[in-house]
Amino acid sequence: MSATAFKILTADQWRRFEAEGSFAGAPIDLADGFIHLSTAEQLEGTLAAHFADQHDLVIAEIDLQRFGDAVRLEPSRGGALFPHLYATLPLDAVLRVERRR
């Protein structure tokens, strides 16, 4: 497993994340019981599949090493293994952010 993964957030989700210092998940994450992440190789596909018509997104690169077995690679889109985080995401686990307008 890679040392990092990516979480795509709306600008509103990012503002709340920064203000609260942690992120429990987007509505789909809360419904599924884990935070959906993408590897670097999966990121553009995730953007195209789930965020194609959205603007003002924030892509947060997450340090996975600090989560141990709270991160699991599990089958998702097309059977590909995606990283899923079974924990709340603290702001200090974000290594960098990229804004997509």
Range of the domain at 55: 4-100
- What confidence score (pLDDT) does residue 26 get? 96
Which residue has tokens 């699991």? 72
Number of domains in the chain: 1
Please tell me the number of Cα atoms within 13 Å of 4 on its side-chain side. 15
The pLDDT profile of the chain, 101 residues, written as one tens digit per residue, is 789 999 999 999 999 999 999 999 999 999 999 999 999 999 999 999 999 999 999 999 999 999 999 999 999 878 899 999 999 999 999 999 999 98
CATH number at residue 45: 3.20.170.20
Model pLDDT, residue 76 = 86
pLDDT of residue 78: 84
Encoding tokens for residue 20? Answer: 């609260």
- The Cα 70–Cα 34 span in angstroms is 9
Structure pTM?
Answer: 0.94
